[in-house]
Amino acid sequence: MGIVSPTADLWFYKIAFSKGIRIDTYSAFERRDALNHALPGRRFTRGRQPSEAPRFLPVKRRDQAGNIERRTHVTDNGEHETTPPWDAAKVNLTSKEFAPGVFAVLPDDVFAKDHVATTAGFVIGDQGVLVVESMLNGDLASQLIGLVRQQTSKPIRYLVNTSYHGDHAYGNYLFPDSTVVIQHPATKRYMEESFEDDRRFMIGLMGAGKGIERVQARTADITVRDMVSVDLGGRTVEIRHFGFAQTPGDLVVWAPDAKVLWVGNMIQAPSPALPWLLEGRHRDTMATLVKVREFLPDDATIIPGHGRPMRPEEIEYPLRYLRELDTAVQTAIKDGHSVESALEKVTMEDYGEYSLFDWAHRTVNVPAAFQHLQEDGTEF
């Protein structure tokens, strides 16, 4: 069975990040070739899903002189070097109470960096606990469960994954069998159909020996397409789908009495962090973020996927970036630029303070917006 979701372009961006590949001038055909090289046993076609068939092609591009140059970093023994976005073996999780029984779970360096390991949280009611996210591996899931147990011995009745990303959902298997796992249908489908491919990618990204080898797939008992309310006893928590933001299955978790919203990777982190358009569709992302902003009271607290807590007004920063990106890429297309030359025009250096700017903006966002606007048939 071929991968159904995400698209080939998403796999390309993910592999590029894990391998340290600068791919901002790859054509669609070179992206396909790079994927066929990186995921042997599958055959990718341009911008679409792969079919089963082995293919081995080098990851390559041409330099300004027309010579082929490699874009991967290779060690002396022939292995690809990997620089993880964070070291899973060094993450220490802490809890912060925002209202009685409502806790965000945050890496202990969350106020020192603009991008950190995955955040999470839990809400305690009279009859049980709802947990948001399950983390990357068994160790981090155990840390999370331990933080819950420091506050209550009540059963963990519900576990919500905000997306299919491994650092948000791989720890599901460590929760009690009685815990009800909640996901969007797209997340459940992806994990059922592509878990082993995703595990291999995550090992390549985060490194071997980080506990990812031991995780087991565990998918939803309940799926949420729109909204469900969960009664924890004296307290209700809402699980909502506002629309596409980074994946088709993005969920948010809202504790209305505490005015706390967990958004997962819908928002990576506050300024200076930028959106990661791993599956493109930046206009859908903008529309979803607007819906979230309109839903929230001004004094609400947002727990983003990889950063410090933030206020609703701070959503304007990623929205402004996406609007400017949309306008700049539209102009580049109107002026007849290719995606390669558009990268020289759409620099947006005002956003360069973000530690992952070069990768997020040049490698992912500009090519993704360019492709989306072309495929969307936008009139210029």
227-284 pLDDT, tens digit each: 999 999 999 999 999 999 999 999 999 999 999 999 999 999 999 999 999 999 999 9
Q: Using an 8 Å Cβ cutoff, are 225 and 241 in contact?
A: yes
Residue with tokens 């391998």: 19
pLDDT of residue 356: 94
Distance of CA 249 to the CA centre of its chain: 11
Taking a C-beta distance cutoff of 8 angstroms, is the pair 148, 132 a contact?
Answer: no
Alpha-carbon 280 to chain mean position: 12
Predicted pLDDT at 11:
52
List beta partners, residue 182: 160, 222
Buried b (16+ CB within 10 A) or exposed e, 142-168: ebbbebbeeeeebebbbbbbbbbbbbb
225: burial class by Cβ within 10 Å (0-12, 13-18, 19+)? Answer: exposed
Extract the residue ranges of the chain whose pLDDT is less than 70.
Answer: 1-82, 377-380
Rounded distance, CA 235 to CA 231, Å? 6
Of 96, 219, 103, nearest to 161 (Cα)? 219
pLDDT at 13: 54
User: Which three-class secondary structure state does DSSP give residue 183?
Assistant: strand
**DSSP annotation string for 287-350:** HHHHHHHHHS-TT-EEEESSS--B-GGGGHHHHHHHHHHHHHHHHHHHTT--HHHHHHH---GG
Residue type (1 letter), 365: N
Q: Would you say 346 and 328 are in contact if contact means Cβ atoms under 8 Å apart?
A: yes
